[in-house]
Amino acid sequence: MNRGQPKSPLLSGEAIEPTPFRPAGALIGFAWPTLPWLPLLACVGLLSAAGLVWFLINARSVELTVSPADAHLRASRGFTPHLGSRWMMLPGERDIEASAPGYHQLQETLSISEEPHQTFLLTLRPLPGNLLVTVNPPTESVVDVDDQPVGKAPGRITGVAAGVHQITVRAPRYLEFRTSLAVAGKDATQPLAVTLRPAWSPFTVTTVPPGAQVLDTTQPLGITPLSAELLQGRRQITLLKPGFKPWTRRIQIVAGLALNLGEVPLLKDDGYLNITSTPRSAAVAVDGVYQGETPVKVAVGPDVSHQITLLKVGYLDSQANFASASGETREIPFALTPELGVIELLSAPADAELLVDGVSLGQVKEHLELPICEHEIVLRKPGFAPYRTLVVPRRGHTKRLQIRLKVAIR
């Protein structure tokens, strides 16, 4: 070590004192100016007080009533102090935001007027609610809200607007379930218990003899004796069995009210009589009831004798008894016997041709027997004018005709 050089602090055992860091550059040697801080602070305080006084003079008292009451309010555009529901706002447009759990956020612009005291009502819309629908008995159903389908049950129906709604639950073979429900909304889930009532009724029927097919209109239900379920409403029940007449009855089914038709006696099918006559167009009566003119087919009770009467003008009445088995068609021919009257005919010349009802009978006959109905008599001979007349023979009387033909004029 050289003499005259200072000793190192580490070697001398002296303490090392820290010194503040000063960056090199322009700030070296800079001294902060000394300002009149107290006057400045006083000035700022006076300006703030003046601004507050100006605000209090120009601001308006605004009462904001919000539903729900616990909603959080926030106002934009400027200084808007408040105490509870009372706000101080300068005139002009002010944007208000309101929010609360379970409600849609509300954003509204308020027009603050020059009135010293103003009141605004802010109402938040609840969020939609949910329905947890249970169905007894468990049946897949359709759920309507205010007559609009919204989903199926049993299950959870979401997005139902808050408020009072008409709820309808529909399922096949059950009566509609309808109720009025106040939905709270706010994304809450409400239970709805649905009890469905059957739309059908127990139905029973037996027949004598058994084994008839039962139809509901055209829908087969089964074979008698039968127990079934029929939906409510007007029904047409038909019983069918080969060899027997169909049985039909209209009934009214009331839901939940059992209906027993009891024991229905089935009637055998009709027999049929196919009645003909010679000549045709004779009036037919069966058991004294007019049925039309021959040929005619008449339905009659089976296995029972029936009186058949035929009537025709100019012919004797004809009557006979016949029966027909169930489902059988029996041919019944009648040959009618004419009822005759006598006509004596004298003509000149005597060899003229005679036509009766358009049919030639050859030379004039002095004695004619004709059915007692109207007939056309024609006499003709070449060189003479034809003679025509209408005649009706009478029962038990002889009718005389004397006819002289006139020479034809050429």
Residue ranges of the chain with pLDDT lower than 70?
Answer: 1-35, 51, 77, 410
**313-339 b/e (C-beta count within 10 Å ≥ 16 → b):** ebbeebeeeeebeeeeeeebebebeeb
The string of pLDDT tens digits covering residues 43-86 is 888 887 776 777 777 888 889 999 998 899 888 767 788 888 88
The string of pLDDT tens digits covering residues 175-209 is 999 999 999 999 999 999 999 999 999 999 999 99
The whole-number pLDDT of residue 213 equals: 97
Identify residue 162 by its one-letter amino acid code: A
Neighbours of 366 (CB within 10 A): 11
The whole-number pLDDT of residue 276 equals: 96
Full DSSP string of 56-121: HHH-EEEEEEEESTT-EEEE-SS---EETTEEEE-SEEEEEEEE-TTB--EEEEEEE-S-SEEEEE
Q: Which CATH class is domain 340-404?
A: mainly beta
Cis before 154 (ω within 30): yes
41 CB-near residues (< 8 Å, 6+ apart): none
Compute the residue count for the chain: 410
Q: Distance between CA atoms of 172 and 198, rounded to whole angstroms?
A: 9
Query: Do 340-404 and 201-265 have the same topology in CATH?
Result: yes
Q: Distance between CA atoms of 350 and 248, rounded to whole angstroms?
A: 72
Q: Distance between CA atoms of 297 and 275, rounded to whole angstroms?
A: 6
- Tokens 């073979």 correspond to 173
Asked if residues 77 and 94 have their Cβ atoms less than 8 Å apart, the reply is yes
CATH node for 129-195: 2.60.40.1120
According to DSSP, the residues that pair with 148 across neighbouring strands are 145
The whole-number pLDDT of residue 194 equals: 96
299 CB-near residues (< 8 Å, 6+ apart): 270, 271, 272
Interior CA angle at 95 toward 92 and 96, to 5°? 125
Indicate the CATH number of 46-123 among 3.40.50, 3.40.640, 1.10.10, 2.60.40.
2.60.40
Q: Does domain 201-265 have CATH number 3.20.20.70?
A: no
The whole-number pLDDT of residue 16 equals: 59
The whole-number pLDDT of residue 130 equals: 95
Domain segments of the chain as ranges: 46-123, 129-195, 201-265, 271-335, 340-404
According to DSSP, the residues that pair with 136 across neighbouring strands are 195
Q: Does domain 271-335 have CATH number 1.10.3470?
A: no
Q: Distance between CA atoms of 219 and 237, rounded to whole angstroms?
A: 10
Q: Distance between CA atoms of 158 and 94, rounded to whole angstroms?
A: 36
